[in-house]
Structures are given as C-alpha cells and as structure tokens.
Structure 1
Amino acid sequence: MVAEPDIAAVAQAIGEPARAAMLLQLMDGDAHSARALATVAGVAPSTASTHLRRLCDAGLVVVTDAGRQRLHRLAGAEVAQLVEALAALAPPRLPARLQPDPPSGPLLRARACYGHLAGQLGIDLAVLLRKDDVVDELAPGETGVVRTFDHPLLAALGITELRGTGPAVRACLDWSHGTAHIAGVLGTTLLTALLDEGWVRRRPGGRALRVTEAGRRRLGEHGIG
C-alpha cells in the first residue's frame, strides 16, 4: 500500500514568517550564511539557525561548508517552483495602496528567480521569444526546446548554444503578473548574459535587478521598453 504524501509536513516548515522570508531570499539562486538570512528574516542568528535546521529537515534547503562558513541554498529547482507557486496564490503583506515602492516596485520590474529572470522584464523577453518562434507557448510547468538561436536578441547577448542540464525551456509562473516567464537552461543563460553584458545589475540586499542605462538602450533596440 502506497501512503499519501505528507504535504502538511512541508507546509508546516514553510508556514512561519521568518522561514518564508528566508526561502524568498534564497530564490535569488545564491548561497547565504545564517547571519545574512537572519537579517532578512528579522530574527537573531541563533533563532535563524533553528529555522534553517527545520527547512533542511524538510528537504527545502541544503547547507554546505565553505571554509569557516556554512552556506544555505534551496535544495533544487522543484523547491523554487513550489515557492513561486505559493507566491502566486499568496496575498500581499500590505494592501496595494500601502505597498512601499522601493521594495515592491523593483521586484515587479525585474528580479532573479532561482537563476533566471522574472518580473515584467522576464515576461517581456518571453513574449518576444514566443512571438518570434524561438520558443513555444507553454503553460506553467511545461517544458520545451529552443527552436532557433538565429534571433537578434540572442545574438546581441552572445547566446549561440545552451550549456547545462535539465530542460532547455520551462515555463515558470510569475507570481507578480500571473503569467509565465522563461526558466530552464535558456532562462539561466539569458539572465547570466544580461548580467555579463551589463544590461542589468543586482540590487544590494535582495532579488531585485536594476536595468542599466545601456540595458535600456539595448533592450529598446529589440522593442522592449
């Protein structure tokens, strides 16, 4: 007899504000120390360690030793998909009229989503590449292929092939706009190229990204404002 999965155990691990805040920070795809995550969650480092142990025990976070530091990251892409799906269902912490622009505005415009690009910029790129038949229209969670690399945007970013494991393209539900952006190896390659070319920069202390002046000009050349 096969037992039903214990989704309550995972929900209980996530369902605490400090742990949820840590998971959202880890959605940037980087590894973070317990002290850094404590700051994000607004708790003491000793309390953060307890929360992180709970997340590790639930299989949501993994920890590695880096010299004298212990660094934490999401356990895998499936955890990122879970967090993004929950974010799409979750209400804002404040009424929309009270949402402060500095933290929320940049996140809505462009942010890292576990190694790929999300927010309005991520959606705009997905729309362009779908319109020009580089990728297919996919429902959130579906996977596909890159049909061609012969596209002006990919050429401008120096993308001629994909290197990495996993699906070439995966449609990831964007919680902030209710539609899909591009994940998978192509999504990771796009964000890496945008950062390498200086079209976007990481904002300190979070997942939000800033489009540079050069980025606005170069993206505008491809019809992305």
Structure 2
Amino acid sequence: MEPDIATVAQAIGEPARAAMLLQLMDGDAHSARALAAVAGVAPSTASAHLHRLRDAGLVVATDAGRRRLHRLAGPEVADVVEALAALAPPRLPAPLQPSPPTGPLLRARACYGHLAGQLGVDVAVVLRKDGVVDDLAPGETGAVRTFDHPLLAALGIAALPGPGPQVRACLDWSHGTAHLAGSLGTALLGSLLAQGWVRRRPGGRALRVTPAGRRQLGELGIA
C-alpha cells in the first residue's frame, strides 16, 4: 500500500499550522491558546488547525488538569519539519521567521529537545573529530564510542539512560549540516541548561549563551 503523503503535506501546508509545528519543535507541550498567539489566529481557529494536525498524526494532545496540551507526535515529525525548513523560504509569521545569520535562532536553539543552530553544529564537529561519535549522515543512528571527553565530563554526562538511539544525526536547516539528536543530544541540551551555560529566550526556541557558558565553551575549544 502506498503511503498517503498528500494528507500529511496538506496538513503541514497551511501557514498557521506550519507556525504551530515550528513552535512545537521546542519539544515542550503548549496549549491551544498559546499556539493561537504564535500563529496569529483566534483560539477557535487554532483548535480547528490542531484537530487537523492530530488527524494527520503530526501532533498529540494530553490533558493536564483543566488544560489540554499539544506536542509533536514524535521525533520523526521533528525530522520532517526540520528537513522542510532547510528547503523553505522565510514566509511564516514574523516572530517565527529565521533570524539573520548573526541572530539568536541561528546561533543556538532547541530542536525537539536537543541542541541545534551553530552551537549544536560546533559541538557535533568537536565530538566527531575527537572520536566520541561517528560521522553520520542525516537520519543515521549510532552509539557513543566513549564518554571520556572534556565536554562530556564538564557537563556531567557519563551515561545515557532510556531506550532509543544514543546518537542520531539531525539535519540542521540553518546550516545545512548535521547536529546531534538522540539521547546524547537531549543530554547535552539538558546539561547545558542545568549548568547555566545557556538559557531559554522567552517566546520561542532560541537559546542564549551566558557569559559563563561562553567562557566554559571557549576553554573547551567550542564557540
């Protein structure tokens, strides 16, 4: 049986729904009202759009008390959105348009729970060069070859819990190369945030590298 690509494409191919999917790329769960604000539509319109995205298998919803929260259905959806963003011109609502090359979204951002942007690419380059991970093509998976690395030691990453691939190469739409997803990518972002090396910027996926982060990363030959 042939896959029904058209249904998924039609669900994504509407500006408000595309804006919602990009916001959900931060890996968090969001209410319909919050996604309505991001997409620039009324809450009632947002609910209809989210229903369409759920029917297409792109978004799932869960109840949290009196609120209904929405998130991407899985990492494979994030892969599709990131790959489309690599091809697409900036035609989304202004708050979600790609920043200029020196802008915060391109410098560092969250990509479905892992580190992306120039900082994510820089980290991937160093870990590949030092033999921590293999040189994988976008979409390929692998394992961490060693945890004996100054960056991982500084971030307190000595093991990776949970199922799923330890390493997955994820195409970075803003730089045309791969950053690291999988459990390693998630651990890197979580540790960078916990250590205070990066902070989340309000209202989007962009991250801010703190002065302490710049110092520490610079000492490690990154950034």
Query: What band does the TM-score fall into relative to the shorter chain?
Result: over 0.9
What is the CA-CA distance between 1:82 and the residue it aligns to?
A: 0.6
Residue of structure 2 in register with 1:199 after alignment: 197
Residue of structure 2 in register with 1:7 after alignment: 5
Residue of structure 1 in register with 2:31 after alignment: 33
Give the letter for the 2:167 counterpart.
V
Q: State the 4+ residue runs in structure 1 displaced beyond 4 angstroms.
A: 99-104
Residue of structure 2 in register with 1:177 after alignment: 175
Tell me the secondary structure at the aligned position of residue 149 of structure 1. coil
Q: How does 1:120-159 map to 2 (within 5 A)?
A: 120-159=118-157
Q: Could you give the per-residue CA deviations for residues 154-191 of structure 1, whole angstroms, max 9, x where no partner exists?
A: 00000000012210000000000000000000000000
Give, in whole Å, the separation in 2 of the partners of 1:24 and 1:164: 26
Give the letter for the 1:154 counterpart.
L
Stretches of structure 1 lacking an aligned partner (at least 5 in a row)? none
Q: Could you give the per-residue CA deviations for residues 50-104 of structure 1, whole angstroms, max 9, x where no partner exists?
A: 000000010000000000000000000110011011111112239xxxx785898
Give the letter for the 1:135 counterpart.
V
Give the letter for the 1:63 counterpart.
A
CA contact (8 A) 2:90 2:98 kept: no
Q: How does 1:112-127 map to 2 (within 5 A)?
A: 112-127=110-125
| Match 1:80 to one of 78, 81, 94 | 78
Residue of structure 2 in register with 1:224 after alignment: 222
Of stretches 72-81 and 100-109 in structure 1, the one that deviates more from structure 2 is 100-109
Give, in whole Å, the separation in 1 of the partners of 2:100 and 2:169: 28
Tell me the secondary structure at the aligned position of residue 135 of structure 1. coil
Give, in whole Å, the separation in 2 of the partners of 1:43 and 1:139: 38
| Match 1:111 to one of 102, 109, 112 | 109
Give, in whole Å, the separation in 1 of the partners of 2:99 and 2:55: 36
What is the root-mean-square deviation in Å for CA atoms of aligned residues? 1.5
Tell me the secondary structure at the aligned position of residue 158 of structure 1. coil
Stretches of structure 2 lacking an aligned partner (at least 5 in a row)? none
Residue of structure 2 in register with 1:47 after alignment: 45
Alignment of 1:24 with 2:16, yes or no, is no
Give, in whole Å, the separation in 2 of the partners of 1:23 and 1:210: 22
| Count of matched residue positions in the alignment of Structure 1 and Structure 2 | 219
CA contact (8 A) 2:107 2:117 kept: yes
Query: Taking structure 1 as reference, are residues 217 and 123 closer, same or farther at Cα in structure 2, changes over 3 Å only?
Result: same
What is the TM-score when the length of structure 1 is the normalising length? 0.94
Give, in whole Å, the separation in 2 of the partners of 1:188 and 1:19: 26
Give, in whole Å, the separation in 2 of the partners of 1:47 and 1:208: 26
Give the letter for the 2:22 counterpart.
L
Q: Could you give the per-residue CA deviations for residues 192-213 of structure 1, whole angstroms, max 9, x where no partner exists?
A: 0000000000000000000001
Give, in whole Å, the separation in 2 of the partners of 1:68 and 1:8: 34
Residue of structure 2 in register with 1:215 after alignment: 213
What is the TM-score when the length of structure 2 is the normalising length? 0.95
